[in-house]
Structure 1
Amino acid sequence: MSTTRRTGPSTAAMLLGMGLTVAAVVVVYVDRASADVLAGHIRAGYPGYDQGQIDTAATTYLAYLTVLGVLGVLAWGAGVWVTRKRLTVAPWLVSALFVVGTSVALFNLTVRDTSGATGLAPLIGWVGLLPSLAGLAAVVLVWRARRGEVAS
C-alpha cells in the first residue's frame, strides 16, 4: 500500500512563496556579483561616499536581506506545517505571517534613508515584494480550506 501525500493548493502557494523568498535573496547576491544595482543606488544617494563606504553599506544591506530571507523561509515552513497538520490555528497564523511579511516588504520598498532616496534600489524592493503575491493566494486558499471549499 502506497501512502502518497498530496500537496493541496494552499500548501502549494506557500511552497511557491518559499521559493520566491529564496529567489529574492539570490537576486541580491547575483546583483552584488554582477550589475551591482544596489551599490549604484547607494552611490547615487551618497555621492560623497568612497568605494569602501559604498561596499560596507551594500554588504550591510546584503546581510539584512539574507536574515530576512532566512526568517521568511522559516515562516513559510511554519505555515506549511500548520496547514498540513490541519491545525485550527492555520488560517490565523498564515494570515498573521502574510501581514508581517508584506509589511516588512513594503517597508523595504518605501523607506527613505538620510539622502532622501529609498534605502533599497527599487528593483530589489519590488523583487522582495513578490513572495507576498503567493502569500495572498495562500491566505485566501487556507481560509477557503477551513470552510471546506478547497483542499488544504
Structure 2
Amino acid sequence: MTTQTNNVESQIQELQQQIRLMQLQQQLQQMQQSQQQGQQVSGSPTNGNGGSVASQVHKRGVRLEAATVKASIGGQMTGILRATLRDTDGEALQDKEIVFLVATTRQEVGRADTNARGVAEVSAGSNGLDPILWAEALATGWIAVFSGNREFLPAEAKATVHLSIA
C-alpha cells in the first residue's frame, strides 16, 4: 500500500511541476508579446538619401479598472458592468471601445465606448434574456478588454458579480 501511495504522491508532484511549467511558459509568452507590441516598427520614413529609416512606435500604457457589479433578480436581471480607462498619468481616455466578456468562456456580453470620464458601461438588463451567460458571469466573474490602438497598449481587468434578490 505504501508503494502505491508513494507512486501516487510522485505522480501528483510531477503534475504540479508540469502545471507550474505551463504557467511560466504562458507568462513568458505574454511578456514577449508585450515587448513586441511596444517595439513595433511603423512606416518607412526616408533618411534624406533615398533610403528608408525604421522608427519605433512607443505606445503608452493604460490602466483599466473593472468594477464589481451588484446585480439583482426581481422579474429580470438588473445590473451594470462598468470599466474605467485611464492613461498612466491618471487622465481619462474618451471614445475608446471596451468589450465586456464572461471570464471563463470569453463570450461577449456587450461593448461600449468610454465617456469623458473614461467610463464605459453595459446594462445587464439588455442581456437578461440569456440566463446561461449571466449564470457563468456570476460564477466566474467578467473581464473588461481594451484592445489598444496606435497610441495605447491593450489592457484587461477582471471583476466579480454579487447577486441579490430584489
TM-score over 0.5 for the pair: no
Higher strand proportion, which one?
A: 2
Relative to its length, the structure with more helix (as a share) is 1
Higher relative contact order (CA 8 A, sep 6+): 1
Structure with the greater alpha carbon radius of gyration: 2
Structure-1-length-normalised TM-score? 0.26
